[in-house]
């Protein structure tokens, strides 16, 4: 997501960053462990889909997933 379009609604102070290697870090919620958005370059903020409060209409990797009766991705709301 472009940096200028991203803003924290809440939880910004819950982030803890871990350096797994000298060139790689991850940021997690110190309360629950959820991956949090990470700024990896000057232009973009990288977020995981589960941290967004939006209706997801597509699943990444869904082409490899078995379908289940009544499984309707468009009826689910994902909340942070």
SS (H, E, C) 4-45: HHCCCCCCHHHEEEEEEECCEEEEEECCCCCECCEECCCCEE
Kindly tell me if the per-residue pLDDT of 54 is higher than 80.
Answer: no
Kindly tell me if the per-residue pLDDT of 76 is higher than 60.
Answer: no
Q: What is the pLDDT of residue 80?
A: 44
In this prediction, residue 55 has a pLDDT band, given cuts at 50, 70 and 90, of: low
Q: What percent of the chain has pLDDT over 90?
A: 2
Kindly tell me if the per-residue pLDDT of 29 is higher than 70.
Answer: yes
Between 9 and 64, the higher pLDDT residue: 9
Q: What is the pLDDT of residue 61?
A: 61
């Amino acid at each position: 997501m472009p940096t200028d379009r991203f803003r924290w609604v809440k939880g910004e102070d819950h982030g803890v960053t871990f350096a797994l290697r000298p060139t790689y870090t991850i940021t997690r919620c110190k309360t629950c462990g959820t991956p949090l958005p990470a700024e990896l370059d000057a232009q973009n903020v990288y977020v995981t889909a589960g941290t967004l409060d939006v209706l997801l209409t597509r699943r990444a990797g869904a082409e490899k997933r078995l379908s289940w009766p009544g499984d309707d991705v468009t009826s689910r709301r994902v909340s942070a």
